[in-house]
Structure formats: C-alpha cells, structure tokens
Amino acid sequence: MRIDVVTIFPAYLAPLDEALVGRARRAGLLDVRVHDLRRWATGVHKAVDDAPYGGGPGMLMTAPVWGAALDEVAGSGEGVPRLLVPTPAGAPLTQRRAASWASEPWLVLACGRYEGIDARVLDDARRRMPVEEVSLGDYVLAGGEVAALVVVEAVSRLVPGVLGNPASAELDSFAEGTGGLLEAPAYTRPERWRDLDVPEVLRGGNHAVVDRWRRDRSLERTAAVRPDLLDALLARHGAAAFD
C-alpha cells in the first residue's frame, strides 16, 4: 500500500519512521511518502494561506497551492488514490472505515492548517478521485497532522503482513472478532501482583470457557463505557448480537 501525506509540517510526521509503521516501511509493506505543501507555493514568501471571503477569524489554505500539490501527488502513481482529509467537519474515524481503507492500494492524506482548506479544493478533487473527510472526534486541533498519524497507524496495522500476528487485530475493540464490542480485560504474568490475581478462568486453559468469559467481560465493559455500541449492535443484529 502506498500512502502520501501532504502537510506544511513534514517533521510532524516523523513518527511514521518509528515502530510498527516504520518497520512495515522498511519491510516494503508500506510505501509512505511525506510532502511539504510549500513545494507548490509561489512567490517570495511561499504563502499557502489567505484571508477568508465573507470575513471571519484566521486564514484559509489556498486552492491554487493545494490544487497543484494534489495534481502532482495524485498523478504520480498507478491508478487513482482515495483522498482522506482530516477535519472536525468529517465523519468519525471508525475501525470499520480503517479496515475499508486498509484494502485500498493508495491513500493520500491532505493535512489542513489554519482555519482549513478552501472548499473548492475538495470539490475539484472529487471530480477525479474518491474523497472522504474524517474526524477523530468533537474537539479542535491546530491541524490535520496528528489525525493523519492516527489514520495511518489505524489503517497500516490492518494491512496484511504488518501485524506479526494477524489474530491480534481480530480481538481488538470494535473488531469483527469482538463483535464490535470493547475488548475484554487482559492479563499476563505474574499470576499474583500485589494483592491482585489473574482471573482463575484464564489460568484454566479451557478455550471455550475463556472465550465465553471474554465475551461476557466485553459486554459488561461495553455496557458500562459505550452503551451506544450496544444499541448499534442491537439495531443491526437484534438480541442474537449478545449470544
């Protein structure tokens, strides 16, 4: 999979050289390319922003700079990429969306700054490629770079071969393997730590019993912390969702 990230702060994406994503890049499983948007800026000051029409606080990133950048980046490979734009106005990032993007051959992430990007940039991009706006949550960040790091990691770990043990992803919270529930509490050695013991059932070795225990703990945890997920499962699968 190829992933391009366009930003005015390339150094913000340095963590993509580390850990899981860094290893996958060096193994040739991911082709991650970070581009400085200012490469496409013109003029002495390489300006990438201007005042918003209609007034209002702050500045907007301009269409000509982003247009030139996306033309070159999205035109530099086989086929057509899916353009992802982190923004508070986007649809929520979910495991399901990350999983769908993990099967794409090529993603381009456009990181906005200031008050965002001139709307015509996405309107124009939609004429040539699929475009999705994605939000990490209902809070305000200074730009899209942190969200881009999150999206790249959430997607990359689902790319075949990136996780050492693919089964790890199956028991994640929100994953199909946990039925879209939060994952159960997990334990490792020592068996007793301070005055706390590992639950006996996990030490017994009966996989069917362990699976049932984990399912029950997932249901309890989800009901306590994310009842909205239970409502969604009920709506989708009826009471059978909790068998």
Ligand X SMILES: Nc1c(O)cccc1[N+](=O)[O-]
Among 15, 56, 75, 137, binds ligand X (CB under 6 A): 137
H helices present in the chain, as ranges: 19-26, 63-74, 95-101, 119-125, 145-156, 167-170, 200-204, 207-225, 227-237
Mark 92-131 with x for binding to ligand X (rule: CB under 6 A) and - for no binding: ----------------------------------------
Which residues does 29 contact at the CB level (< 8 Å), separation at least 6? 1, 159, 161, 162
Tell me if residue 172 is catalytic.
yes
Mark 8-27 with x for binding to ligand X (rule: CB under 6 A) and - for no binding: --------------------
208 touches ligand X (CB under 6 A): no
Pairing of strands 2-7, 196-197: unpaired
CA dist 210 and 119 (Å) reads: 51
In terms of CB distance, is 110 or 158 closer to ligand X?
110
- Give the chain's length: 243
Mark 145-164 with x for binding to ligand X (rule: CB under 6 A) and - for no binding: --x-----------------
Which residues does 154 contact at the CB level (< 8 Å), separation at least 6? 93, 95, 98
Say which of 113, 157, 214, 217 is annotated catalytic. 157
The residue ranges that bind ligand X (CB under 6 A) are: 86-88, 135-137, 139-141, 143-144, 147
Query: What amino acid positions are annotated as catalytic residues?
Result: 88, 115, 157, 172
